[in-house]
Structure 1
Amino acid sequence: MSKKVAKTNAMRLLDTHSVPYREIVYDIDDGEIDGMSVCRKVGAEPAMFFKTLVAKSREKKIYVLVIPVLEHLDLKKAAKVIGEKHIDMVEVKELLGLTGYIRGGCSPIGMKKAYPTYYQQSLLNHEEIVVSGGRQGLLIGLAPADLLLMTQGKTADLIVR
C-alpha cells in the first residue's frame, strides 16, 4: 500500500525532461534523519546514498557538493577543485533562501538557481545512486549520468581520506 507522493521541484524537473527515477519514501516522525538512520530505514547501501552540501566562497559565490552520506567533505580539497582559495559551508538558516530546500531535504536537482555542482567521483561506480528528493522523508534513485546531466555536474575527489 503506497500513498501518492506530492511532487517536489526536483521531481517536476525530472518529469519535464523525461528522466527516469524512483521515489523512496521514509518515515521522519522519529526525528532520525541522519544519513545512517535513513540508509537503515530504506535499505540503501551507504556508498550509493549521497548527501547534498552547500558551500560559499569569501566572495559569496555558491557551490553544491554531493558526497556519499557517511563521508566527510574536505573543504580544502573541494576549494582547490572549484578554483577558490577558501570555501565554507553555508549556515542552515541560509539554505532555504539559497536553494529552496531545507536541511535534510536538500536535493541537487531543482534548486532556485543553477549553482556549480560537484560530485564525489565514486558516484560513477554505481548504476543508481540515491539523493534527496526535495524534502525530508523523500529520496530519489536515478542513474548517475542522468543526475550529472540534469545538474551540469562535474566529478572530483572531494572527501577526507
Structure 2
Amino acid sequence: MAKKVKLKKTLVDQILDKAKIVHESLAINALEGELPNDIKREEIFKTLALTGDKSGPVIGIVQITEHLSEKKLAKISGNKKVSMIPQKDLQKTTGYIHGANNPVGIRQKHAFPIFIDQRALELGQMIVSAGEVGRSIRIDSQALADFVGATFADLIED
C-alpha cells in the first residue's frame, strides 16, 4: 500500500475538486522507478499530443505499456494522418511539458479532440498525469471521459 501523504493539490486536483469529481492524488513518476504495490503498470495511461492534417492538435491517451496507433487515431479523428507534436512545440501547444500532459488541464485551455483507448473503460479506472512531472491522479475512466468530452476507441497498435 502506498504511504498516504498529504499532497499539495495540483491545478488538476483543484479543477476536479471544484467540479466535484472523485479522484485520488498520487505522487508517482510512472516513467521512472518502482511503483507502489497497489498500482499496476497497465492502470497508468500516457497523454499524447499529436497533430492531424485536417483537425490540428488531437490528444490520444493509451496505457504506458502500449503503443498508440497513429493510423487508428487518424481515422477516428477524421484525419488522413496524425503525427506527434515535436517536443520543442509541446508546451506552447498544450501548455504542458513532456511527462506532464493531462486531459483535464488541456481541456480547460483548448477544445482539442480527446480520444482514450477503450481498455481504460474495461479497467474501470485509470491513472493519468496531474499536470506536473511526478504527480498523477487515479480516476474513474468514464467520469474522466465525460468531464473532458473524450471518446473511447481502439487506439492500440496491433
TM-score interval, normalised by the smaller of the two chains? 0.7 to 0.9
Q: For residue 85 of structure 1, what is the aligned residue in structure 2?
A: 80
1:158 aligns with 2:155: yes
Alpha-carbon RMSD: 1.7
Report the equivalent of 2:92: 97
Deviations for 1:136-158, whole angstroms, at most 9, x for unmatched residues?
Answer: 01010010111101110001111
C-alpha contact 2:49 2:59 (8 A) present in aligned 1: yes
Counterpart-to-counterpart distance in 2, 1:42 and 1:152: 30
CA offsets 1:46-93 (integer angstroms, 9 cap, x no match): 221110001002356110000011100111111011111011100111
2:115–2:151 CA contact under 8 A, matched in 1: yes
1:14-60 deviations in whole A, cap 9, x for unaligned?
1121001101113x6xxxx62xx35x333421221110001002356
Matched, 1:147 2:144: yes
SS at 1:77 equivalent? helix
Deviates more, 1:10-19 or 1:53-62: 53-62
Q: Hey, what does 2:127 align to over in structure 1?
A: 130
Q: Secondary structure at the match of 2:35?
A: helix
* Residue of structure 2 equivalent to 1:5: 8
The whole-number CA distance in structure 2 between the counterparts of 1:4 and 1:124 is: 27
Asked if 1 retains the 8 angstrom alpha-carbon contact of 2:55 and 2:79, the reply is no
- Provide the C-alpha distance between the structure 2 equivalents of 1:48 and 1:5, rounded to a whole number of angstroms: 23
Report the TM-score, using the length of structure 2 for normalisation: 0.88
Identical-pair percentage? 27
Q: How many residues align?
A: 152
What are the ranges of 5 or more consecutive residues in structure 1 without an aligned counterpart? none
Deviation at 1:95, TM superposition (A): 1.4
User: Which structure 2 segments of 5+ residues have no match?
Assistant: none
Between the aligned partners of 1:72 and 1:4, the Cα distance in structure 2 is: 31
